[in-house]
Structure 1
Amino acid sequence: MTDDRLVDALAADLGAARFTVAAIERLWERSAEAESTHPGAALRRGHRVPAMRALERVDAADRPLAALVRCFVLGAPVASVDLEAALPSLGIEGAAGLGLIEPIGDAGGAVRPRVDLRPYAFADAAGEGEWWLASDLGELATGGPLPEGHVLGVGGASTTLSGLLMQSHAGTTLDLGTGCGIQAMHAARFSNRVIATDISGRALDFARFNARLNRMDRIEFRLGSLYDPVAAERVDRIVSNPPFVITPRRAGVPAYEYRDGGMVGDGIVEAVVRGAAEHLTPGGTAQLLGNWEYRRAGGTSESGELEDGLERAAGWAAASGLEYWIVERERQDPSEYAETWIRDGGTRPGTPEFEALHAAWLDDFAERGVESVGFGYVLLRRPVDDTGPRLARAERQHGPLGETPGRLGAHLAECLEAVDRVAPLDDAGMRALRVAVAGDVTEERHHWPGDERPTVILLRQGGGFGRVVDAGTGLAALVGAADGELPLGVLSDAIAQLLEVEPADLWDEFAAAVRELVAGGLLRPVVR
């Protein structure tokens, strides 16, 4: 897959055939108008028949696009003559040379795909973009469980992490466990240099291919486990969608390279978090997805105190001297967790194979005292100096996000900057601080019928994590008056006079609350 001449020919053909997300969506939309069935929606549910039917009715001008979609998106055989017409520069021989296809039966008949190849569109701080990304065929094409060496394409976790990444400039970025290379390519838009590592040589082959196909020339690829490929190096940023899935270490349970780090329980996430401190420059950041276990001390489900999984994850960072912001987005019981990842591997529910794997997962969790598993986002930072960490935050945000996933990276960056501005301030500095309420914050008041005073005042964040704060009368008044004009101390004393309370007591209440609202993005420091 590394012949540059052939890869460049493929890129030219894909561009000429308009092999884009928008063009494919137009095919599905036209079919939906004709049959009242949306092929794209059916594909997302795991059914490709409506899409196959749609491709049979395309106009002559769309036949090259249809051949590419049938072969590389739907994973179905296609007539050699049709694919040849779609790839005139590369040709059937060139496509086979790159490992994209293989013949079926006699030469000159039909071919079938050996890889998944599809367009991927996105938008970030640098603007809109679109790439073509190759990976191994999924279960929709293979019709069965995935092989253990499967290289995953762009999935839900990939897009979640790419949307979380802070998009400021970095000198050198490390993509730990690059897979098909998607995070390395995103990082390259904001980095002078990217080092992409993986324990899978096959994954690195795909990542190199994808980088060349999309003319990304700032990425260096290295084979190895965890931080071994950068043993004596420091980088400005680490991004990682590590193989965090907790997998029983038992015979008969597939150990998929793309999701299983080969360690017991949540050990792979702990290793990535703890190891980051040795490889970040001062002020450098790491962002990753991860799991953490809630388990009984002593290793059984029947005795021992339950250890908080989120606190354990925070402890890994704190013990390494790192600042951290960890957000738990979901928590599953052992059965839910097992079902999710057994299906992810292509094993269908209701089969003997599914039940055997389900039992293996439940046995493993029970023997190790695991009662549930949390999933979420991890942001780490190495302190710039010896003044100590400014950011130490672990929280649960299980509800719907206020922000669209692709905007969370910008929200995190804004909050981090605000925390840096406020954390060093003493009491006098806080009283002198000016803040303004964020534009996405609204206020909600609840009254008993006929009562003038509200019983509950809620502040709602429209973006970010969609926080809801029970403010009370005093804090709501402060936020309502926060327009950046007057210092906090002046506002606090004025509100104390209106409420007829002691100014010092009210300020003690406000000081901590304001820091929390700033950290969450509801209030923003104003610089004069």
Structure 2
Amino acid sequence: MTERVPDLDALRELRVDLRSDLAPVTVDAVRALLGPVASRALDREQTVPARRALERPSGAGIATFVRLFQLGETVTADDVDAAFPRVGSAGLARLGLVRVGDGARGGGVQAVVELSPYSAEDARGQLDWWIASDLSEVARGGAVLPAGHVLGIGGASRTLAQLTTRRPVDRVLDLGTGCGIQALHAARHARIVVATDVDERALALTRFNALLNLGPDDGQVSTRLGSMLEPVAGETFDLVVSNPPFVITPRVPDVVEYTYRDGGAAGDDLVRDLVRSLGTVLAPGGVAQLLANWEHRAGEPWPDRVGAWVSGLGLDAWVVEREVQDPAEYAELWLRDGGQTPERDRDGYEIAYRAWLDDLASRAVEGVGFGFVTLRRRAADGTDAAQPWLRLEEVTGTVAQPLGATVADVLDAVQRWADADAAELLAQRWVVAGDVTEERFHSPGEPSPSVILLRAGGGFGRTVRCDTGLAAFVGACDGDLAGSQIVAALAALLDVDAVALAAELVPQVRGLAIDGLLRPCAD
């Protein structure tokens, strides 16, 4: 099937009518029509429950949309004209979204792009968009995806959108924009958004999605063709977001390389090189946020490998690992992602599978980490921080999405407290964040707790184990007393040296402040 690019000139003419026809097609409306079981199955690219649900005679217009743009079915022109009363099948064809008549299977109407409803909420409120991308494997009838496939909105892009800080900024870079979803989100809180990609078709879809969905109150989105940071050399940005082609793929002829996920480098070199270079495009105070994979190599803990990437940059760096897959799991994930299955081509599947295992084994890779990297140029005057804040951690439990506000709050706290001395920290009057609870565990018959935990209910769901002194300090943080007064009172109560107690508590208080469990009292 020859890939077509949606027509921007036609969209400029038909935009109002198309948006009117699409208005009833929201994420909630599609879920209500299909039901929860079929909706979840469709998210897993299983179509039988959705097709079965669409046999019910209800929601005709939305049902036509789903059959046409998400299931890849050929639909009659009459049904399409009824579902799109203002644009009609002829208008959709002019827009480059469908084929009609002899160009479509069965002489009806056939989608040439996927069009999906998308809903989210940010600081400006609720948004309901429709995102064009290349046809999914489902809509292609199970055919293997072409190498130049432009991916729609998947789990990774949703994760990045929820992770990204959303404070108003001037300039944003969306590196490797794909269908443009990150650029569209950024346009709601930035004056200028530059979206880059190595695939001109991806940029065309980004332009189409921006014109279809953004309004006069949104920022300007421009697109540039090129690899990594080349299209923006010499420029700086207040925010950089990227879902880069981070997949670790064997560079052999038997394994297809997909533009949207494979950057052409060996192992995790692409992510390493990108992380090492992002500081060149960060304005003072600028933040970069990207998704990534990294290798766990035998005898080399992953924080040491990835820590070497972020050290010496003069930037604050925060690396969070959310999941680890062993080599076989990793190979299976990306083979399945590209539509390669043993049912379709057993010999080809085994050859590619072996190539993946051989490639990872050649570098003694025992697992592959999935996570995200946040970088920040801290100093407002453009100079690099003398002692950047570095954190590399595993957070494998449930987190409270969206995390963007939490990330922004942590970066603010780092700016204020990471380099604060003991006197400044103890001069502060602290209060406990409203979502923090305390848990105490007692062994049978023991009057004192054996374990004391502080738990944050939101954000990353931090759990901090406390000794008696820290628990008592936090318990007294109600905004009335300065930290130094609390330490003095505790030292007298526990009959310990106040200076020694302060030296023990200060780094722990700093950590609680950075993670938001303790907050400075707002007078």
Q: What band does the TM-score fall into relative to the shorter chain?
A: over 0.9
Report the counterpart of residue 227 of structure 1 in structure 2: 229
Is 1:336 paired with 2:342?
A: no
Q: Distance in 2 between matches of 1:43 and 1:517?
A: 42
Q: Distance in 1 between matches of 2:9 and 2:48?
A: 35
Is 1:505 paired with 2:500?
A: yes
Q: Distance in 2 between matches of 1:432 and 1:221?
A: 49
The one-letter code matched in structure 1 to 2:198 is: I
Report the counterpart of residue 98 of structure 2 in structure 1: 101
Report the counterpart of residue 78 of structure 1 in structure 2: 75
The one-letter code matched in structure 2 to 1:336 is: E
> Residue by residue, what CA displacement relative to the aligned partner does 1:135-164 show, whole Å, maximum 9, x if unpaired?
111111221221111100000001100001
Secondary structure of residue in 2 paired with 1:89: coil
Shifted more, 499-508 versus 231-240: the winner is 499-508
Is 1:471 paired with 2:471?
A: no
Q: Distance in 2 between matches of 1:100 and 1:256?
A: 23
Following superposition of structure 1 onto structure 2, how do residues 401-420 of structure 1 map, counting pairs within 5 Å?
A: 401=399, 403=400, 405-406=401-402, 408-420=403-415
Q: Is the 8 A contact 1:13 1:89 kept in 2?
A: yes
Is 1:450 paired with 2:450?
A: no
Q: Distance in 2 between matches of 1:165 and 1:275?
A: 20
Secondary structure of residue in 2 paired with 1:307: coil
Report the counterpart of residue 167 of structure 1 in structure 2: 166
Task: State the TM-score, normalized to the length of structure 2.
Answer: 0.92
Please tell me the root mean square deviation across aligned C-alpha atoms, in Å.
1.9
Out of 356, 368, 372, the position equivalent to 2:367 is 372
The one-letter code matched in structure 2 to 1:148 is: A
Change in Cα spacing, 1:57 to 1:510, as seen in structure 2 (3 Å) is: same
Q: Distance in 1 between matches of 2:120 and 2:70?
A: 18
Secondary structure of residue in 1 paired with 2:460: coil
Secondary structure of residue in 1 paired with 2:297: strand
Q: Distance in 1 between matches of 2:478 and 2:89?
A: 65
Following superposition of structure 1 onto structure 2, how do residues 128-167 of structure 1 map, counting pairs within 5 Å?
A: 128-142=126-140, 143-167=142-166
Change in Cα spacing, 1:522 to 1:228, as seen in structure 2 (3 Å) is: same
Secondary structure of residue in 2 paired with 1:178: coil
Report the counterpart of residue 35 of structure 1 in structure 2: none
Q: Distance in 1 between matches of 2:195 and 2:44?
A: 32
Report the counterpart of residue 282 of structure 1 in structure 2: 284
Report the counterpart of residue 302 of structure 1 in structure 2: none
Q: Is the 8 A contact 1:70 1:76 kept in 2?
A: yes
Give the CA deviation at 1:452.
1.2
Q: Is the 8 A contact 2:21 2:84 kept in 1?
A: no
Is 1:4 paired with 2:9?
A: yes
Give the CA deviation at 1:121.
0.2
> Residue by residue, what CA displacement relative to the aligned partner does 1:220-240 show, whole Å, maximum 9, x if unpaired?
000000011111211111110
> Residue by residue, what CA displacement relative to the aligned partner does 1:7-27 show, whole Å, maximum 9, x if unpaired?
552552353351111221221
> Residue by residue, what CA displacement relative to the aligned partner does 1:80-124 show, whole Å, maximum 9, x if unpaired?
221122223333233223321224658894122111101100011
Is 1:68 paired with 2:68?
A: no
The one-letter code matched in structure 2 to 1:130 is: D
Q: Distance in 1 between matches of 2:214 and 2:451?
A: 56
Report the counterpart of residue 109 of structure 2 in structure 1: 111
The one-letter code matched in structure 1 to 2:213 is: N
Change in Cα spacing, 1:12 to 1:311, as seen in structure 2 (3 Å) is: farther
Q: Distance in 2 between matches of 1:3 and 1:506?
A: 67
Out of 18, 21, 27, the position equivalent to 1:16 is 21
Out of 285, 291, 302, the position equivalent to 2:293 is 291
Q: Distance in 2 between matches of 1:227 and 1:452?
A: 61
Change in Cα spacing, 1:152 to 1:183, as seen in structure 2 (3 Å) is: same
Report the counterpart of residue 184 of structure 2 in structure 1: 185
Out of 256, 260, 263, the position equivalent to 1:261 is 263
> Residue by residue, what CA displacement relative to the aligned partner does 1:280-337 show, whole Å, maximum 9, x if unpaired?
11111101111111224xxxxxxxxx22223322322223222111111112221111
Give the CA deviation at 1:205.
1.0
The one-letter code matched in structure 1 to 2:27 is: V
Is 1:381 paired with 2:383?
A: no
Q: Distance in 1 between matches of 2:202 and 2:120?
A: 22
Secondary structure of residue in 2 paired with 1:129: strand
Following superposition of structure 1 onto structure 2, how do residues 303-342 of structure 1 map, counting pairs within 5 Å?
A: 306-342=299-335
Report the counterpart of residue 299 of structure 1 in structure 2: none
Q: Distance in 1 between matches of 2:101 and 2:306?
A: 50
Q: Distance in 2 between matches of 1:150 and 1:281?
A: 33
Task: State the TM-score, normalized to the length of structure 1.
Answer: 0.92
Q: Distance in 2 between matches of 1:434 and 1:347?
A: 59
The one-letter code matched in structure 2 to 1:19 is: V
Count of aligned pairs: 507
In structure 1, list runs of 5 or more residues that go unmatched: 33-37, 297-305
Q: Distance in 2 between matches of 1:434 and 1:392?
A: 26
Secondary structure of residue in 2 paired with 1:485: strand
Secondary structure of residue in 1 paired with 2:478: coil
Give the CA deviation at 1:482.
1.2
Q: Distance in 2 between matches of 1:15 and 1:500?
A: 73
Q: Distance in 2 between matches of 1:392 and 1:106?
A: 56
- Structure 1 outlier segments of 4+, above 6 Å: none
Report the counterpart of residue 393 of structure 2 in structure 1: 395
Q: Distance in 1 between matches of 2:129 and 2:167?
A: 21
